[in-house]
Amino acid sequence: MRRHLSFANVVSVIALFIALGGGALAVQVAKKNSVNSRSIRNNSVRSVDIGKGQIRSSDIRNGQVGSADIGDGQVGSADVADGSLTATDIDVASLGDATTGRTKQRFGACTQTLTSYQQCLSTEVTLERAGRIYATADGNADSGSGSVPVGVNTCRLTVDGTPFTGDFVIAADFSPGEAFSFAGVTEGLGAGLHSVQLECKGNGTLPGPRIFSPTLTTLELGTG
């Protein structure tokens, strides 16, 4: 014969179930600062788990961020330290369609007797259409004297009077001097004639540091 449980018996069974299984329902909360790297399963933390602005430079191991981690067009001129970009850092092929290039050299030396920028070499570039100009400057420098231990040249590249590189510092001791090379790319320019100049200055050392046979090479680039 089937027996029916009374309401009181049902309540008793539910109470017993809760008493026996209640411990399994308890939620454990980690103590403050108790979660470490070993407590987290590999690949478990995702971007949604990290607050905006929480990752800083000190959180990233040196050399871990590569070109594949940076979106196209995300790095601008403001993100590059002055004087840190040289010719070897620039892949010319990535800058757009090259049209024509030219080289101009100054024979002899330009001596920096002043602490303000002076023109050392200039060339003119005609853009057939709107684009940019890639330019490199190279040469040799010395202190300007056999008795002055250090001569410091500081140079930069300008287009139409506006710098498009940072200050490139060249410290040279005695003759025959030290070779240098640096480069830069202008911002977008309109079609037409533009003047690209190598400008340098000294540090007050007399008779003045010298730049020998500087060469200015320009390459006209499309807007790509």
SS3 per-residue string spanning 69-91: HCCCCCCCHHHCCCCCCCHHHCC
Query: Is it true that the peptide bond before 207 is cis, omega within 30 degrees of 0?
Result: yes
31-42 mean pLDDT: 75
Q: pLDDT-based confidence at 162, cuts 50/70/90?
A: very high
pLDDT higher for 30 or 189? 189
Percent of the chain residues past pLDDT 90, beyond the cut: 25
CA nearest to 188, candidates 137, 133, 143: 133
pLDDT higher for 161 or 108? 161
Looking at residue 157, what is its pLDDT?
A: 97
pLDDT tens digits along 96-131: 444 456 788 888 888 888 899 999 999 999 888 899
- Between 5-14, 28-37, 174-183, the lowest mean confidence (pLDDT) is in 5-14
pLDDT higher for 116 or 40? 116
Domain ranges of the chain: 7-69, 83-221
Q: Residue holding tokens 């037409």? A: 192
- Domain 83-221 falls in which CATH fold? Jelly Rolls (2.60.120)
193-221 mean pLDDT: 88
Looking at residue 107, what is its pLDDT?
A: 84
Looking at residue 96, what is its pLDDT?
A: 47
Mean residue pLDDT of the chain comes to 76
Looking at residue 99, what is its pLDDT?
A: 45
